[in-house]
Every structure is written in C-alpha cells, then in structure tokens.
Chains A and B, each alone.
Chain A
Amino acid sequence: MQVSFSAPRAAPPVTVHHGDMDMDTDQTHIVTPGESITSDMQYMRGHGTRLDESSDPPILTSTLAGHVSRVNKLVSVKPLKARYTGDIGDIVVGRIVDVGQKRWKVDIGSKGDAVLQLSSINLPGGVQRRKLESDEKQMRTFFAEGDVLVAEVQSFFADGVCNLHTRSLNFCKLRNGSFVVVPPRLIQRTRSHFHSLPCGVDVILGLNGYVWVSKTVRKGGRHNETKVGLDEDAVDAEMVYSNKNEASAINKDERLAVARVCNCIAALAHEFKYINDTIIVYAYEASLAYPDVQDLLKLNVMEHITREAYEQMKNA
C-alpha cells in the first residue's frame, strides 16, 4: 500500500471580538455560545440567538459557535456545520433505514429520520393506479433497507418529522453510481439539482448534503426526455424500482470518471467551497492534470484543484 504524508498548513491570522459589537460594520463577527451579541433591543432574535434575561439590562447572546449575520433587524448566528433542517420543496437524497407499515423511514441527515409513505410514491402501472393491500405486502420490492433514493420534501408532520414524496419522474431509486456526503451548508438552492456533466457523469446535489454521482443513463429512466404521456409512466415504473445496475456493464473508464467526480466533490467540501455544477466541472478539468484518481485524495492536490476551479469560477 502506498502511504504519503503532507506537511501541515499555516493557519490564517485571527482577530477575536468580545463584548457588545458594532452591528453596523461589515466585518465578520465570530461568537461562541454565551457570548453577548448586542444589548440593543431593537433587533429581532433569529436562529442561534437567545435573550439572556438574567443580566440587567437583558442582552442578546449566542447559543452557537459561528458568525453573526444580520438581515435588516433580524440577527442570527450561522454555525459552520449543522444538521440539515428541511424545507418544503427541497430536493434531498436519502437512504432507506427501515420498512414499516405503509411507510419507509429514510435517513436524510436531519434531526430525525424522514418518512416516505406508500401513498406518496409512483407504483408500477401508472400514476392513476390505486394502492392495494398487495402493494403493502411487497413494499420491499419497491424500496428495501439500504436503497438510496432522491425525493422531494412534501410536508412536515405536527412533530416536525419530514414527509417525502417521489411522485415525479425525476425522483427514483438511485443506481449506477456512488454516494458522497458534504456539509449541507455548501449546497445552494438552485433551479435544478439534477446535473448532467460533460464528462458523462450525472450528479444529484441533495440539499441535505447527500450527493449522488452516477453514470449518465440514456435508455429509459428519468433521462428519457423524448417520450411523454402515460406510455412513459408504464415503462419507467418497471425500471424505477429495479435493483440492478444498467444492463450494459459500466466499464472501467466510466467507473473512473464517477470516482474522479466524487473525489472532486470531496475536495471542494474539504476546502469548504460552495458546490454547484459549474465548480464541479472546473474542478474535474483541473483534476485531469493528475491521471491517477487516488492522487485527488492528497491534501495538496485537493487544495490545488480547488484553487484552480475557484479561479476559473471567478473569471467566468
């Protein structure tokens, strides 16, 4: 086994702020739990803040370690990383952890497991089909434990549990690829979270920080844009719940391309850069300077491709 070591990097200089801060400057304020943000009561308390009434006058204190962000009168503290909190309409990638009565439990990296109800998936035989008792008995043929899927957040239950649905042709069981986890904060809300990269790789950027990287599938499945109407549903439904990778085996080059994109995403996450389709493409191009995919796991290489991608991004 090859083992390599790289030298540590120097940390950037730091300025620490204490006490009542001047809210009107553009400077970044970093606070730790219990530290006071302001005693000015005109501000609204957002996430990560708390009114400390034990002191006189009451002061607004932080409950998290992060930087203070101010939008008009709303003050909140944003931590570097936190668990994903869903919003309705978010595209998420998740993994089935439990099959229950009429519903699946899905790990989406949030506080609790999300729920996918049998009634909120598309069943084989078209959208209009009714759910039968037999469907309940064969739920594992649709999704079994360990399956990865992409879904949309439909609603929340009264106790805050997230309810998912897959009632669109975009949402399906995921095959032919790899799974990468990045901090949820790095994935921005964009118009589309499904991207086909020019290198023959598809990327699904889940807002919960779960990313699916796979070979672009042309036949059937959700990438078939030409067919429309009911016919498509019938064809798809059979395909959607298949547990097999694409019939024509994925060859070595395709596997390497997927691995390379995965490593590029991991490198961007390691350097804490926002992740979107453009920067992934730039990082991929920069990474081609290293023919061995495993080289991308080295710290200095990660830094290099990230910097290159970032420069490209700025110039574009």
Chain B
Amino acid sequence: MDNLRPLSTTQGVLYGADGSARFHMGSTSVLVSVNGPQSQGLGMRDEQEDRAILDISHIPISGTAGVADKHMEECIRTTFESAILLGYHPRTMIQVIAQTIKDDGGLLAASINATTMALMDAGIPMTAIVAAVTCMVEKETGAILVDQTAESLERAKSIHTFAISSARGNSPDPNVLLLHSLGLFTESELSHCQEAAVGATDAIFAFMRKAVSKKIEKGHQQDGDMQED
C-alpha cells in the first residue's frame, strides 16, 4: 500500500520484559513491553477465575498519563480482549506498557500495531493478529487519506482509527475490532474510510508477518541444526 508512511519495527528490544517491540509509522513511534501471563502482585485482587486479565498502561512522552492516555488504554484493552485467547491462562495477568516515543499523528494505531508485535514476541496465544490505521476525511476536498501526519490531520473533517483482525473466516466483511471516530461524517464517508483501512491493514499484516518470520527464521536456523546432534 503506497499511501502508508514508511513502516519499521523491531522485536525483543527490552531485555527485562517477556516480549517487547518498537513500531514506527512514519515518525510516530511507540515502544511496547509485554509481561505475562504472570500472577498478579501482592494486594491486587481483581484476578478472574476463568481468564487472564489485561492490564494496559499508555505512557505519554512526558508527565503522567492523562485522560487521553486512559482512553487509549481502554481502546487497546477492548481491541485485544477479543484477539487474545485469555481463557488459556486463568487467574493471571498480562501486562502491556506502551510508551509513546513520538506522536506525529495516528498514535493509537501505532500503539495497537506495536502491541501486536510485542504480544507475538512474548508468545501470548492469539486468534489472529491485529493491525490498526488512522484514516481521515479532508475538509476542503472530501478526499479519504490514510495514515497522515499530525500536521495533515489538522485539515481533517473527521478522523477514524480502525483496528482490524487478520481472521476473517469465510465472511467477505472485514473483522473490525475497534472503530474510534472524531468529527462529523456521513455513512458513505465512513464506509469509504473502512475500505481504505482494510487495504492499509492488509499491507500492515504482510509487513508484520514478514518482520516476525525474519526473526523466527533466524532463531530457528541457529538452534535448529544443533538439535540434530
């Protein structure tokens, strides 16, 4: 997909965490660490008997998390609750910490993409991978634009962030896990945005799969031939 800003990602960037990843969409960049499934700390008693709980923290560039960050945490949590197989690890917690490195538009989408990469790195079972992208409808022209910079988002009539699961089954419709919209828009504008988002997330899926395969192939080559001895 040519409309996307350049993507780049690195897995396993943090040594202390079970899984971690950095994800760049253009100059927007997020670093995510995943710990778990693990037992919760002492005194924390909101564990669930039949599933793992997701504990998400979204940390801004400076200062403490505000309302916007709390809102993003909630968006990320609901998105991944439907993608992670939480029932596999009852009475545990999966902790996700997303640190904003730079926000140049589409921060929520970058956080979701980084979380997907970090969860894969941590070996957390999921039904599918999740990719997200921000679309906007331009005020002047009414054009649908994908993955824009903060400067360009200023000119938007409405902004929509889609998180889409790679598992579609046999249904022709995309499996949208999250839709986060700002501004005024019509139904047809939204459906056009969704079409654009589906195209963009397909490109992101391909990118993620390639990045992960590269890492696993390398690791597997290194220990694989030793196993034969």
Contacts and interface: CB of A to CB of B under 8 A. Distances in A.
A220 interface: no
Interface stretch (A200-208, A244-252, A268-276): A268-276
Interface stretch (A64-72, A118-126, A128-136, A146-154): A64-72
Overall SS of chain B's interface: mixed
A14 B126 contact: no
Nearest to A159: B91
B222 A273 contact: yes
A111 B93 CA distance: 9
Interface stretch (B138-146, B187-195, B207-215): B207-215
B152 interface: no
A196 interface: no
Interface string A27-62: 010101111000000000000101010111000010
A34 B226 contact: no
A120 to B, nearest CB: 20
A32 B90 CA distance: 23
A79 interface: yes
Contact of B39 (A15, A30, A112): A112
A46 to B, nearest CB: 12
Nearest to A34: B128
A32 B212 contact: yes
B165 interface: yes
A83 B218 contact: no
A55 B227 CA distance: 36
A30 B213 contact: yes
A300 B18 CA distance: 25
B125 A55 contact: no
Given A34-B167, A50-B85, A65 B39 contact: no
A212 B192 CA distance: 59
A63 B213 contact: no
B128 A28 contact: no
B170 interface: yes
Interface string B91-118: 1100000000000000000000000000
Contact of B219 (A61, A80, A159): A80
Tell me which of A54, A80, A82, A112 has the highest count of chain B C-beta atoms within 10 A of its own C-beta.
Answer: A80
A80 B214 CA distance: 12
B42 A98 contact: yes
Given A111-B38, A273-B222, A34 B127 contact: yes
A1 interface: no
B208 A186 contact: no
A38 to B, nearest CB: 16
B223 A272 contact: yes
Given A14-B217, A112-B39, A52 B212 contact: no
A156 B129 CA distance: 32
A33 B127 contact: yes
A112 B40 CA distance: 8
A113 interface: yes
Which applies to chain A's interface (DSSP): helix, strand, loop or mixed?
Answer: loop
Interface residues of A, number: 42
Most buried by A among B92, B209, B222: B209
B92 A112 contact: yes
Contacts of A314: 229
B216 A48 contact: no
A16 interface: yes
Contacts of B128: 33-34, 61
A313 B170 CA distance: 50
Given A52-B167, A63-B126, A32 B213 contact: yes
A83 B19 CA distance: 10
B123 interface: yes
Contact of B92 (A34, A48, A67, A111): A111
Contacts of B121: 65, 81
B169 A54 contact: yes
A313 B228 CA distance: 12
A111 B39 contact: yes
Contacts of B124: 64
Contact of B123 (A54, A79, A112): A79
B221 interface: yes
Contacts of A274: 223, 226-227
5 contacts: A16-B210, A33-B129, A34-B165, A80-B220, A159-B91
Interface of A: 11-12, 14-16, 28, 30, 32-35, 48, 50, 52, 54-56, 61, 63-67, 79-83, 98, 111-113, 159, 185-186, 271-274, 310, 313-314
Given A34-B129, A65-B120, A82-B123, 5 more contacts: A32-B129, A33-B126, A35-B209, A52-B127, A111-B92
